[in-house]
Chain A
Amino acid sequence: AQSVTQLGSHVSVSEGALVLLRCNYSSSVPPYLFWYVQYPNQGLQLLLKYTTGATLVKGINGFEAEFKKSETSFHLTKPSAHMSDAAEYFCAVTLNTGFQKLVFGTGTRLLVSP
């Protein structure tokens, strides 16, 4: 069965600093990988996704992630953090089959200080 591991339940950065949120996956077949963001009292919003093709995926709000098969990783990065980036971030995986059952990691809370 597929699964994801997010290292670090909390990550703190200063405004303007690099953001790096880690995600490692486990899947017996080529996976589809996703990053979602959740702001307080709101639903999940898709940041970006990898299905096939280019391994560097660009998403909304300046975020990007790189699929590295050799490392089974899909880390999320942003060159310069903004205060508005403070939220909970979830990595998710699904198999590339017809019915898309998302399996989420436990989440990483990003804290941004001025």
Chain B
Amino acid sequence: EAGVAQSPRYKIIEKRQSVAFWCNPISGHATLYWYQQILGQGPKLLIQFQNNGVVDDSQLPKDRFSAERLKGVDSTLKIQPAKLEDSAVYLCASSLEASGRQFFGPGTRLTVL
């Protein structure tokens, strides 16, 4: 069974630039999560989708972050414009159902200079 795929694995940009991350969840998984993991901290949930609808985006900085999950499969997380404090690893996870076990992708490491 293929795991959660993410791309790119690494990204370096300058502040005020835009960046987008892509996630392909495990086939058939209805729930998709985006987490932000700042160095030295645990992952923090940014947004949770159930199929293509948003369940929880309470910790998503909506002035600069946006996410979508068209057709309830792949998802894209965008930052526009990026700030220095956005440097982190962005993890995508998926689960078969909302209360199910989450499977994590390898993450995208973003460095903002």
Q: Which chain A residues have a beta carbon within 8 Å of chain B's beta carbons?
A: 9, 36, 41-46, 49, 90, 92, 97-107
Contacts of B41 in A (CB 8 A): 106-107
Which B35-61 residues sit within 8 Å CB-CB of chain A? 40-45, 48, 50, 55-56
User: Closest chain A residue to B95 by CB distance?
Assistant: A100
CA distance A99 to B98 in the complex (A): 5
Which B10-66 residues sit within 8 Å CB-CB of chain A? 40-45, 48, 50, 55-56
Is the pair A43, B106 in contact by a Cβ cutoff of 8 Å?
A: yes
Contacts of B71 in A (CB 8 A): none
A43-B91, A99-B55, A99-B56 known; A104-B102 Cβ under 8 A:
no
Neighbour of A102 across the interface among B55, B98, B102, CB < 8 A: B102
Q: Which chain B residues have a beta carbon within 8 Å of chain A's beta carbons?
A: 3-4, 40-45, 48, 50, 55-56, 91, 93, 95, 98-102, 104-107
CA distance A58 to B45 in the complex (A): 26
User: Closest chain B residue to A105 by CB distance?
Assistant: B42
Is the pair A43, B4 in contact by a Cβ cutoff of 8 Å?
A: yes
Is the pair A106, B42 in contact by a Cβ cutoff of 8 Å?
A: yes
User: Closest chain A residue to B92 by CB distance?
Assistant: A43
* A30 CB to nearest B CB, Å: 14
Contacts of A9 in B (CB 8 A): 40
Is the pair B45, A102 in contact by a Cβ cutoff of 8 Å?
A: yes
Contacts of A103 in B (CB 8 A): 45
CA distance A104 to B43 in the complex (A): 6
